[in-house]
Amino acid sequence: MPRIIFISADGSEQAEFNVPPGLTVLEIAHKYGLDIEGACGGAMACSTCHVLVDRRYFDKIPKPLEEEDDMLDLTFGVAKTSRLGCQIVVTDALDGLTLRLPPETKNRQER
Ligand code: FES
């Protein structure tokens, strides 16, 4: 099972999990109680699942759909390696995938 590593926004905490392929990063975060909200449940309508992908793994992940890029354009703290966690499906090829949580997220559905 591929290993996935989450690093807290300030870099002070790290958590590693071996997960079955086929789950999304958002599903993994929820399974292990990590602080990734995922307010829209993976519908690419919120960006509260924003994660920063380690450069070594960024190009191994299939390219984002236009809708994902559009949503990231509206997100705080975006970097070149930003992705939506609900759109990253973990595969064996992503063994060692390392993700950092962003400093903050904003739910655009909130008022
Ligand atoms: S959970 Fe809302 S965009 Fe990913």
Q: Per-residue pLDDT for 108 more than 80?
A: no
Given pLDDT bands bounded at 50, 70 and 90, which one contains residue 111?
Answer: very low
Mean confidence (pLDDT) of the chain: 93
pTM for the predicted model, two decimal places: 0.92
Nearest residue to 6 via CA among 95, 99, 68: 99
Q: In angstroms, what is the span from residue 26 Cα to ligand 1's centroid?
A: 8
Q: Where are the alpha helices (DSSP H) in the chain?
A: 25-31, 55-58, 66-73
**Domain limits, the chain:** 3-100
User: 3-100: what CATH class?
Assistant: alpha beta
Q: Per-residue pLDDT for 107 more than 90?
A: no
Q: In angstroms, what is the span from residue 68 Cα to ligand 1's centroid?
A: 9
Q: Which atom from ligand 1 is nearest to the alpha carbon of 44?
A: 3
